[in-house]
């Protein structure tokens, strides 16, 4: 719930991480680190920015959010459920045969999901198509695309970046989850992206950076008046954020069955 | 054929503002009228096929019907994952118009040949595949495409092909056309192989061999009932395709025939491109001949097969 100072991100973040943990316990698997990394980003978007209607998920004028790093979907599902896009009972059926929530999100199955993602490097171009359609139809909605940093290794991302700039898609916002780690190791070692902000600037984007230990930074950036270009916000995040022994720990990028001790330690740290 | 195809898109777009055309980096001057008259529905997006498929998907998820044209091999091979996920899984109205299907770009070599396009696209759920035989059938297919749900791949031939389709035969996706009823022999064709089959059938007729022709302009969904009906009357079935034998029309025909209980099973021969990269340049016809796909070579194959069957039956 919002406080006088805005959303209580610390509390909301713990609630989401608790639900994610319960889902991973139930399923025995999940991309924990990648999901914990974007919890605050999704809270900023869904609680303060996006115009969406859980009662009418296909409302034509809704803002569109595409989680291009589809493996981060464990962070998305609890938030969509809380907003009422689908029954909370679905959460504990994550990855189960009778559930709608898979290890990567599919839009035909899940109300509130705009595009099926999971193979990396697809979401930006789909978002560009939606942003172009908005312009053709004279509609005012915004399109938001969340990319992973490792995902920016894909050439198709940069094809999309060229196109977004060409079309001056001021209704398009790219958010890069820059936690600086990918599956195998540090981004700086596997395939360096720096100077990262300069690259986006050179590609023609209004480029800003936000530190997600202060989610209000992202909130303020996204509330700024739009220019005449597509914009990107590089969010500085921590893979596995929120639990000390998961933070920056690559063995939690994708995690199998949790041990009783791990479960106890996570819930102790979440204090709720 | 490509011109008729793109002209049809223009005609559709003039009537429907939700129809969008995207080109990659097409030849100068292509579709100038479209660009001038309907600039909001026209895009030229550069050599970025993977991106274009995604963009087309996003447009289609927002109510547009998108026609995307570039060279067949780049629209199928290059962005196969985008085709599978952004078009197939999303099941959207995007039409891939692949120029130079088959061996059309023979002088340009294997990088530009689309000889496995049907196999690749066929493996994608929800995808419809058509290979018209001439410009008129292309036009009929394109006009029908406006109402077709889901993604579509259109294989465009070289252009200038003799017109062998007939208006009265019409066009319906998934409905094969019986050009000649089956005799001892049945040719099954797609794309421009129809004209070779017609020529071969005429030559055989003079020798007293009656050859039927079933033209499957729609490779997927394949018209299995029509094939079974015709094949049941024939002693020999020959599939003809300007495509690798791995996974194309011949494979489909083989699958359908193998799973059917005939009173007397016809002998099947698949004519197409063997499992090799073509080792010569020259023209489309040079390579078709090299792989036994010219009308005289098709007729020769047919004679031998019929003789084999007759000897075996005697």
pLDDT of A20 over the 70 cut: yes
The reported pLDDT for the residue numbered A182 is 95
How confident is the model over A49-58, as a mean pLDDT?
A: 98
Tens digit of each residue's pLDDT (9 = 90 or more) over B264-281: 999 999 999 999 999 999
By Cβ distance, the residue of A116, A119, A163 closest to B55 is A163
Q: Which of A1-15, A244-258, B237-251 has the lowest mean pLDDT?
A: A1-15
Minimal Cα–Cα distance from B20 to chain A, Å?
10
Q: Which secondary structure element, helix H or strand E, spans residue B240, and what is its range?
A: strand B236-244
Tens digit of each residue's pLDDT (9 = 90 or more) over A206-221: 999 999 999 999 999 9
Residues of A in contact with B90 (CB under 8 A): 107-108, 115-116
> Phi-psi bin for B170: left (phi > 0), alpha (psi -120 to 50), beta?
left
Query: Residues 201..240 of A with a Cβ closer than 8 Å to B: which?
Result: none
Q: Which secondary structure element, helix H or strand E, spans residue B309, and what is its range?
A: helix B295-313
CB A133 to CB B64 under 8 A?
Answer: yes
Chain B, nearest residue to A133 by Cα: B59
Check if the beta carbon of residue A63 is closer than 8 Å to that of residue A143: yes
What end-to-end distance do the CA atoms of chain A give, in Å? 16
The reported pLDDT for the residue numbered B122 is 98
Minimal Cα–Cα distance from B81 to chain A, Å?
8
Residues of A in contact with B64 (CB under 8 A): 133, 136
The reported pLDDT for the residue numbered A45 is 98
Confidence band for A5, pLDDT divided at 50, 70 and 90: low
Burial of A128 (0-12, 13-18, 19+ CB in 10 A): buried
Minimal Cα–Cα distance from A119 to chain B, Å?
8
CA A15 remoteness from chain centre: 17
Instruction: Say what the pTM is.
Output: 0.97
Answer whether A131 touches B (CB < 8 Å).
yes
Tens digit of each residue's pLDDT (9 = 90 or more) over A160-198: 999 999 999 999 999 999 999 999 999 999 999 999 999
The reported pLDDT for the residue numbered B313 is 79
CB B62 to CB A137 under 8 A?
Answer: yes
Burial of B91 (0-12, 13-18, 19+ CB in 10 A): middle
The reported pLDDT for the residue numbered A2 is 56
Minimal Cα–Cα distance from A185 to chain B, Å?
25
* CA–CA dist B286, B280 (Å, integer): 9
pLDDT higher at A5 or A158:
A158
The reported pLDDT for the residue numbered B182 is 87
* CA–CA dist A198, B18 (Å, integer): 37
Burial of A56 (0-12, 13-18, 19+ CB in 10 A): exposed
CB B46 to CB A162 under 8 A?
Answer: yes
How confident is the model over B257-264, as a mean pLDDT?
A: 96
The reported pLDDT for the residue numbered A271 is 85
Instruction: Please list, in sequence order, all residues whose beta carbon lies within 8 angstroms of the beta carbon of residue A248, skipping any fewer than 6 positions away.
Output: A181, A238, A239, A240
Check if the beta carbon of residue A173 is closer than 8 Å to that of residue A222: yes
Taking the CA atoms of A107, A112, A114 and A118 in sequence, report the sign of the dihedral they define: negative
Tens digit of each residue's pLDDT (9 = 90 or more) over B116-166: 999 999 999 999 999 999 999 999 999 999 999 999 999 999 999 999 999
pLDDT of A98 over the 90 cut: yes
By Cβ distance, the residue of A106, A122, A131 closest to B82 is A122
Tens digit of each residue's pLDDT (9 = 90 or more) over B179-188: 999 899 999 9
By Cβ distance, the residue of B51, B53, B62 closest to A133 is B62
Chain B, nearest residue to A118 by Cα: B85
The reported pLDDT for the residue numbered A243 is 96
Chain A, nearest residue to B17 by Cα: A136
ipTM over cut 0.85:
yes
Query: Residues 71..90 of B with a Cβ closer than 8 Å to A: which?
Result: 81-82, 85-86, 89-90
By Cβ distance, the residue of A107, A108, A129 closest to B54 is A129
Residues of B in contact with A156 (CB under 8 A): 48, 50-51, 54, 82
Chain A, nearest residue to B64 by Cα: A133
The reported pLDDT for the residue numbered A3 is 58
Instruction: Give, as one character, the DSSP assignment of residue A75.
Output: H
By Cβ distance, the residue of B20, B81, B86 closest to A126 is B86
Instruction: Give, as one character, the DSSP assignment of residue B300.
Output: H
User: What's the mean pLDDT when you consider all of chain B?
Assistant: 97
Give percent of chain B above pLDDT 90: 97
């Amino acid at each position: 719930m919002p406080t006088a100072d805005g959303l209580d991100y610390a509390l909301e973040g713990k609630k989401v991480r608790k639900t994610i943990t319960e889902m991973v316990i139930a399923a025995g698997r999940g991309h924990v680190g990648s999901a914990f990394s974007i919890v605050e980003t999704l809270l900023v978007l869904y609680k303060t920015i996006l115009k969406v209607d859980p009662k009418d998920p296909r409302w034509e004028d809704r803002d569109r959010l595409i989680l291009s790093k589809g493996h981060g979907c464990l962070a998305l599902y609890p938030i969509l459920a809380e907003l009422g896009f689908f029954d909370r009972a679905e959460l504990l059926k994550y990855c189960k045969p009778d559930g709608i929530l898979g290890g990567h999100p599919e839009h035909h199955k899940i109300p509130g999901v705009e595009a099926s993602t999971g193979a990396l490097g697809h979401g930006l171009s789909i978002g560009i198509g939606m942003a172009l359609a908005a312009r053709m139809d004279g509609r005012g909605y915004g399109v938001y695309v969340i990319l992973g940093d490792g995902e920016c290794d894909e050439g198709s991302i940069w094809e999309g970046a060229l196109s977004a700039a060409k079309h001056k898609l001021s209704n398009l916002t790219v958010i890069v989850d820059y936690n600086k780690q990918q599956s195998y190791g540090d981004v700086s070692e596997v395939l360096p992206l720096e100077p990262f902000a300069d690259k986006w600037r050179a590609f023609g984007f209004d480029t800003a950076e936000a530190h997600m230990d202060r989610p209000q930074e992202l909130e303020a950036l996204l509330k700024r008046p739009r220019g005449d270009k597509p914009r990107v916000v590089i969010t500085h995040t921590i893979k596995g954020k929120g639990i000390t022994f998961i933070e920056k720990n690559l063995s939690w990028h994708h995690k199998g069955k949790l041990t009783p001790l791990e479960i106890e330690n996570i819930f102790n740290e979440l204090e709720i | 054929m490509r011109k008729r195809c793109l002209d049809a898109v223009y005609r559709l777009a003039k009537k429907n503002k939700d129809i969008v055309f995207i080109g990659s980096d097409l030849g100068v001057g292509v579709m100038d009228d479209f660009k001038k008259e309907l600039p909001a529905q026209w895009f030229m997006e550069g050599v970025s096929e993977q991106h274009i498929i995604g963009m087309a998907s996003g447009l289609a998820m927002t109510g547009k019907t998108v026609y995307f044209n570039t060279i067949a091999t780049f629209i199928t091979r290059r962005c196969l994952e985008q085709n599978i996920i952004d078009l197939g899984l999303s099941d959207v109205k995007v039409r891939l118009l692949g120029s130079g299907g088959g061996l059309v770009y023979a002088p340009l070599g294997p990088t530009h040949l689309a000889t496995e396009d049907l196999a690749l696209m066929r493996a994608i759920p929800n995808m419809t595949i058509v290979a018209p035989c001439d410009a008129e059938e292309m036009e009929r297919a394109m006009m029908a495409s406006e109402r077709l749900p889901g993604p579509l791949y259109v294989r465009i031939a070289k252009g200038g092909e003799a017109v062998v389709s007939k208006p009265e035969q019409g066009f319906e996706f998934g409905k094969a056309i019986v050009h000649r009823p089956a005799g001892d022999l049945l040719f099954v064709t797609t794309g421009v192989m129809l004209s070779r089959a017609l020529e071969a059938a005429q030559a055989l007729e003079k020798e007293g061999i009656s050859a039927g022709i079933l033209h499957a302009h729609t490779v997927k969904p394949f018209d299995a009932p029509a094939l079974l009906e015709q094949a049941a009357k024939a002693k020999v079935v020959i599939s003809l395709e300007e495509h690798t034998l791995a996974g194309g029309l011949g494979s489909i025909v083989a699958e359908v025939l193998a799973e059917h209980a005939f009173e007397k099973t016809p002998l099947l021969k698949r004519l197409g491109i063997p499992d090799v990269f073509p080792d010569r340049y020259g023209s489309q016809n040079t390579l078709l001949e090299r792989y036994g796909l010219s009308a005289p070579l098709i007729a020769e194959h047919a004679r031998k097969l019929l003789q084999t069957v007759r000897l075996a039956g005697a």
